[in-house]
Amino acid sequence: MTIGIRPDMTTLWLITDNKPGHRSQLQGLAQALAARTTVETHWIDAPSGRSALWQWSSGRFPPGAGLPDPDLVLVAGHRTHLAGLAARRARGGRLIALMRPSLPLGCFDLCVIPQHDAPPARANVIATRGVLNTARPSAERADDRGLFLIGGPSKHHGWDTAGLLAQLGAILAATPGMRWTLTTSRRTPAETEAALLALRGRGVDVRPVHDTPPGWAMEQVARSAQAWVTEDSVSMVYESLTAGAATGLLAVPRLGETRITAGVANLQREGFVTPFADWQRTGRLSTSPERLAEADRVAEAVLARFET
C-alpha cells in the first residue's frame, strides 16, 4: 500500500454518490491534479451506508477489487465518507474530503471546506472560496456574449418570478449589442421556466436545463464575458468567477441571514460580484479583483503535502 503520492504516477480513487454537484467537485480537483502530474483516475460508486460499515469493519473494500492501490482517495457527499474510510483501511492512500464531512475532521488526511461553512484552523483543513468545480476560462470567450443562470427557491431563498423578469428586462434593454443565452436549473419552478421561454422573442437563446447535455452550462460560462446568476445559485456564482466572467447577482428574496447568504455578502463586499441594485445605479458590471482558481490552489497544496 502506498502512503504518499508517487512522482511517476498518482492513482486517484474518486468515490461518488453521483450527485452532479459532488461529481463536479471531485472532477475539478482531479483535473487540476492531472494538469500538474501524471494521474490514473478511477471512479467508484459509493456503497450503501450498511455496506460501507461492513467494509470498514472487515478491512475489505470490494468496489476497488481489480484496481491499483490508490495514492489519493477523494470523497464528496455524506454517503461517501464511510466508504472512503473503508477504502483507505483496506487499500491505503491519503483520504481527502471535499466539503465539511459528517464524520470528525480527524478521520481524514485532508478536508477541503468552503469558508461559508466556518472551517476550524487545523493542520488538515484547507479553507476555500466556495466549493471546487471544473470551470476554466476559454480562448473562445467573446466580449459580446452574456449568460443568464437561473436557479430556484431553496431553504435559504424564496422566489419572485415577476421580480426576476423585471431584472432580466432591464439588463436586456441596457445591452442591445450583447448576444444572450439563458439556462435554468432543476430548482427552477415550471411557471418561471414558461415565462422565461417568452424571452426568445427578445433574441435570448433560452435553453431549459432538461434540454442541455451535462457540462453545457460550464462551457457557456467559459465563453461568456459576463454572467448574471440568481443569488440562490451559489455554486454557479463560484463557477462563473472561476471561469473569469464578470459576474452579476440577480436578486431573489432571502429567508433570513444564513451562512450561504453571508458568503455571498462577502463576495459583494470584496468586489467579486455586482448586485443588480448596484448595476442599476451605476450601469457598470465590475470585474472581480482576481479570478478564482481554488481547484488549482488545492491541487498544489495536495502535491506539496503528500508527494513522496
Along the chain (308 residues), what's the average pLDDT of each consecutive run of 10 residues?
A: 64 95 95 96 94 94 96 97 97 97 96 93 95 89 95 94 98 96 96 97 96 91 96 92 95 88 88 96 88 94 89
- The Cα–Cα gap between 191 and 184 comes to 12
Determine the angle formed by the axes of helices 78-91 and 49-58, rounding to 10 degrees: 20
| CA-wise closest residue to 3 among 82, 67, 97, 70 | 70
Residue 212: predicted pLDDT: 94
Q: Give the model's pLDDT for residue 3.
A: 53
pTM: 0.88
Q: C-alpha grid cell for residue 279?
A: 448595476
pLDDT at position 2 is 45
CB 98 within 8 Å of CB 76: yes
The three grid cell numbers given for residue 166, joined into one nine-digit string: 423585471
SS3 of 9, please? Answer: coil
Cα Dmax for the chain: 64
Q: Which domains does the chain have, with CATH numbers?
A: 10-133+295-306 (3.40.50), 142-282 (3.40.50.2000)
